[in-house]
Amino acid sequence: MYSFLECSQLCGRAFGGQSRSLDLICSFFSQMRDVKYLGAYGMGTLGLTDEYDRFFDELSRLPDINLCIEKICSEFDIQFVTYHLAFHEGKAIDSPYVRTNYPATWVSQYLTNDYVEIDPVAQSGFKRALPCLWSELDWSSEQAVSFKDDAQKHGIGTSGYLVPITDRRRRRAIINFASPKKESVWADHIHEIKSLLQECAEILHRKAIVDLYGADDEKPALSPREIQCLTWVAQGKDASSIGLILGISEHTVRDYCKSAKHKLGCASMYQAIHKATMLRIIDPDSLSD
Amino acid sequence: MFFVLEDHNKNDYPLLYQRMFKLRKEIFADQLGWDVKLSDLGEVDVYDDCNPAYLVWTNTEKTILYGCLRLLPTTGPTLLYDVFRDTFPNNVSLTAPGIWEGTRLCIDEKALAKDHPDMGAKRAFCLMLLALCETALQFNIHTLISNYEPASKRLYNMSGAELVELGRADQYGRRPVCAGSFEVSKKVLQNMRIRLGVSHALLNNDFCNDLKKTDEPRAA
């Protein structure tokens, strides 16, 4: 753990005019992730980052989407995660992109029996804009009941949570989180972690898109407010101070930061500041005395 | 009854859909004079094809529409991003999971007056906002972005939703059109319920009789 003074020095060094090398900044960020009290940076307090920022950071750095799925499962006590991209530019693509940690026996059972025609999750998932519990889907048909029985026989949990995603290019994906927990226990569990699962879903989507179409190295268009907020975060200001400086609410500051993070395709504020600095979208020195 | 319509249940309520687009034409084109695209169906635009969710307010039988609003995630295509971004240089390009756009909020005052003669249009508007806040909380939405006429800002504030104006544009209708955001949290919900004298959940809950308590939101 570093003291505040050491952190400030490190911070000054990492963002120093002459020494803005990738290695140094990377080592700064990796060291910073070990700092217990991020409050010293202003980023840890007041919701600009939270205790899961480090987790999302690590998750997004994993080389493979299957590893991401495993990490999500162990972190959030989930049995299976499935990422399913079905549409591109509003049209169905020939072979849907699916990544899952369901056992091979269940996947082949699913395909052999053409369960996609029966499975309420697959049937209604892509017609949804808002997330839902599997229990909110229509399981009333006889076929759906026997499908569920078969899943249970194969050791597949039948409590689940479905998160739909639509991106700017109108690509649509659904991400499903499954568990053998009882429905009521599962609903409580989801209530606790649903915002975190939403973030996980976004990270999986970004991974899949890079996997399919390659990295998007376009410089994202950040709004002036987003750039101002990021620049002040890089200077160690917290949301409340930035709000005072810019004359906007703390909540709005957080929105601008989240929006900048999303546009930069980053999973944490640390990554966002790093990337924005590397792309010269922000110049953290510009505000220094 | 307030509930959410999405593509998966839209075939169950064809009449509500028809009425919604007609109502939007009556309000936004005829009444407010906004420059919106019209078709035989009423006021429908490309964002209605982007798989939105609609928050609707109907009678218990779900046959008569009192009010509606369209919800779109800012991670996908949105009206405010595409249409208003250039007008509000600073600020309506907010894009992140958890930030959603709520547009085309309107109330059918005639239908409402017929079934709820003792409820004013202002209270109806505020109840829509309260139901919106509940909906957002349920679906991991922490910020709503919206466009509105300057006069409506007072209504947002009366309802307890603290609307922050992000910018305004002049060329869309008879009066300026503003873009703003409001925070969604348990605290905001609590505040709205107190202001509006509503003690229970509105979403997916049939409660019409309780709504008539007062005709105007309480003063701040």
Most confident of A59-68, A164-173, B203-212: A59-68
CB-CB under 8 Å, A262 with B97: yes
Note whether B167 contacts A: Cβ–Cβ < 8 A. Answer: no
CB B63 within 8 A of CB B19: no
Q: For chain A, state the CA radius of gyration.
A: 21
Grade residue A288 by pLDDT with cuts at 50, 70 and 90. Answer: low
Q: Indicate whether A283 pLDDT > 50.
A: yes
Nearest CA in chain A to B142: A255
Nearest CA in chain A to B11: A127
Q: Indicate whether B24 pLDDT > 90.
A: yes
B23 to chain A, minimum CA–CA distance in Å?
23
pLDDT, residue B6, reads: 94
Grade residue A94 by pLDDT with cuts at 50, 70 and 90. Answer: low
Total domains present in chain B: 1
Grade residue A217 by pLDDT with cuts at 50, 70 and 90. Answer: low
Note whether B11 contacts A: Cβ–Cβ < 8 A. Answer: no
CB-CB under 8 Å, A259 with B95: yes
Note whether B7 contacts A: Cβ–Cβ < 8 A. Answer: yes
At CA B160, angle to CA B158 and CA B165, rounded to 5? Answer: 80
pLDDT, residue B219, reads: 43
Encoded tokens for B47: 């964002």
Note whether A261 contacts B: Cβ–Cβ < 8 A. Answer: yes
Query: Structural domain boundaries of chain A?
Result: 4-58+217-287, 77-213
Closest CB from B76, B139, B143 relative to A130: B139
* Residues of chain B contacting A225 with CB distance shorter than 8 Å: 90-91
pLDDT, residue A29, reads: 43
Grade residue A287 by pLDDT with cuts at 50, 70 and 90. Answer: low
Domain contains B212 = no
pLDDT, average across residues A143-168: 93
Domain contains B173 = yes
For B95-130, the pLDDT digits (tens) are 999 999 999 999 999 999 999 998 988 999 999 999
> Which of A23-37, A144-158, B4-18 is predicted with the least confidence, judged by mean pLDDT?
A23-37
Question: Phi, psi at residue A167, to the nearest 5°?
Answer: -105, 180
**To probe the interface with A, which of B46, B91, B163 has the most A CB atoms within 10 Å?**
B91
Q: Indicate whether B135 pLDDT > 80.
A: yes
- How high does pLDDT run on average in chain B? 87
Closest CB from B140, B164, B181 relative to A195: B140
**To probe the interface with B, which of A48, A222, A223 has the most B CB atoms within 10 Å?**
A223
For A107-124, the pLDDT digits (tens) are 999 989 989 889 999 888
pLDDT, residue A27, reads: 42
Question: Does B144 or B210 have the greater pLDDT score?
Answer: B144
The H helix count followed by the E strand count for chain B is 6, 9
Residues contacting residue A113 through CB under 8 Å, at least 6 positions apart: A150
Rounded percentage of chain A residues whose pLDDT exceeds 70 = 77
B136 to chain A, minimum CA–CA distance in Å?
10
Closest CB from B76, B139, B142 relative to A168: B76
The CA distance from A196 to A52, in Å, is: 8
pLDDT, residue A201, reads: 96
Q: Which residue has the tokens 């020095």?
A: A9
Nearest CA in chain A to B181: A252
pLDDT, average across residues A232-254: 92
CB-CB under 8 Å, B8 with A223: no
Encoded tokens for B40: 């035989």
Closest CB from B53, B76, B140 relative to A198: B140
Note whether A28 contacts B: Cβ–Cβ < 8 A. Answer: no
- Strands in A80-88's sheet, in edge-to-edge order, are A91-100, A80-88, A172-179, A159-166, A132-133
Closest CB from B4, B8, B97 relative to A124: B8
The CA distance from B126 to B71, in Å, is: 17
Domain contains B217 = no
| Helix or strand run (H / E) with residue B3 | strand B2-5
Grade residue B196 by pLDDT with cuts at 50, 70 and 90. Answer: very high
Question: Phi, psi at residue A45, to the nearest 5°?
Answer: -90, 165
Note whether A251 contacts B: Cβ–Cβ < 8 A. Answer: yes
Any idea what the CATH number is for the domain that residue B134 is in?
3.40.630.30
Domain contains B219 = no
CB-CB under 8 Å, A221 with B8: no
Dihedral sign from CA coordinates of A141, A147, A153, A156: negative
Q: Identify the bridge partners of residue A142 per DSSP, sorted by sequence position.
A: none
pLDDT, residue A12, reads: 35
3-state secondary structure (DSSP) of residue A36:
coil
pLDDT, average across residues A8-15: 36
A213 to chain B, minimum CA–CA distance in Å?
18
CATH for A77-213, among 3.40.50.280, 2.170.130.10, 3.30.450.80, 1.10.287.990? 3.30.450.80
Choose among B102, B178, B97: nearest CA to B142.
B97
Encoded tokens for A46: 């007041």
pLDDT, residue A20, reads: 37
Q: Indicate whether A234 pLDDT > 80.
A: yes
A190 to chain B, minimum CA–CA distance in Å?
11
Q: A4-58+217-287 adopts what CATH topology?
A: Arc Repressor Mutant, subunit A (1.10.10)
CB B75 within 8 A of CB B96: yes
pLDDT, residue A223, reads: 87
A86 burial type by CB count under 10 A (0-12 exposed, 13-18 middle, 19+ buried)? middle
Q: Indicate whether A19 pLDDT > 50.
A: no
Nearest CA in chain A to B82: A168
* Residues of chain B contacting A221 with CB distance shorter than 8 Å: 93
CB-CB under 8 Å, A251 with B183: yes
Encoded tokens for B39: 């078709």
Q: Indicate whether B63 pLDDT > 50.
A: yes
CB-CB under 8 Å, A262 with B96: yes
Choose among A263, A251, A252: nearest CA to A223.
A263
Question: Does B154 or A7 have the greater pLDDT score?
Answer: B154
State which residues form the domain around B28: 2-201
The CA distance from B111 to B62, in Å, is: 13
